Amino acid sequence: MTSEDLYQQVIDNLQIKTIHPLHKAMLEECCEHAINNNITDKETLRNAAMIAFMTTNSTLQGTLKAGLKMADNVTLNYRGQSFTIDANSKLLGD
């Protein structure tokens, strides 16, 4: 299984219709790490990627909520990409 296959399985399993570019980059990295850990069972691999992604996502959202006022924007640099996030935006889709 490739990290791209794993990424699509996680998206399908979480029923994500749209994804913010920052979360896409985060999930891609979680999938790469899960693949690199040589997990052979596909369900365990998918669960490892999902748990890593949800943990990272929760930490990010907690940090944003703690550090932002309603009118603030934050620019984050992640994996060589820059993301500007509005304090009121939903990072994940529906």
- In this predicted model, what pLDDT tens digit does every residue of 37-92 receive, in sequence order? 888 888 888 888 888 888 877 777 776 666 666 566 667 777 777 777 666 655 54
pLDDT on residue 57: 74
pLDDT on residue 4: 92
The answer to whether the pTM exceeds 0.75 is no
pLDDT on residue 5: 92
Task: Fill in the DSSP letter of residue 17.
Answer: S
